[in-house]
Amino acid sequence: MKKMVVAIIAAYAVWTVIWLVGNATLFADVAAQSADGTPVTAVGVLLGILLLSIICSLAAGVVAARLDRANAFRAVLITGVLLVLTGVGVQASVWELMPVWYHLSFLILIVPVALLGARLVSGSSADE
């Protein structure tokens, strides 16, 4: 149980750090734009932000699965759910600034991509 808690916390932290650093370095202009209430509608930028989220979710899945191989599926699933819950709050706060397809894609991709990250570690399935 202790191992799973550490795996979940570490995976969540990795997702968050990659997200914050990636946004600060790659999308600083977008952050400034949305901070002043200007909508973000450039499809290329939105796809770039989604790609960053995918990288974050893959990394979180890898970390959770590596830290608790015995309970990889459960650790990754719990991490994913926590990330989605956090994401719902964040997406709700910027709902008016980005299109619905972006918000839904962002939230829907978190868990499956994290599970894919775990699968990459195990080689076949997240719960091995």
| 105-116: pLDDT as tens digits | 999 999 999 999
Does residue 128 form part of some domain? no
Is 48 inside any structural domain?
yes
So what's the pLDDT on residue 128? 44
In Å, how far are 20, 31, 42, 76, 128 from 7, measured between CA atoms? 20, 30, 36, 8, 15
| Interaxial angle between packed helices 2-26 and 28-35, expressed in degrees from 0 to 180 and rounded to the nearest 10 | 90
Residue 87: strand, helix, or coil: helix
Separation between Cα atoms, residue 78 and residue 42, nearest integer Å: 33
Tell me whether residue 88 is in a domain.
Answer: yes
- Domain assignment of residue 82, given as a range: 2-122
Cα dihedral sign, 89-90-93-99? negative
Contact assessment for residue 118 and residue 57, using Cβ atoms and an 8 Å cutoff:
no
Query: Hey, what are 92's tokens?
Result: 């709700």
Q: pLDDT, tens digit, for every residue of 50-103? A: 999 999 999 999 999 999 999 999 999 999 999 999 999 999 999 999 999 999
pTM above 0.85, yes or no: yes
Q: Is residue 56 part of a domain?
A: yes
Q: Is residue 127 part of a domain?
A: no
> How far, in Å, CA of 32 to CA of 119, rounded?
36
Structural domains of the chain, count: 1
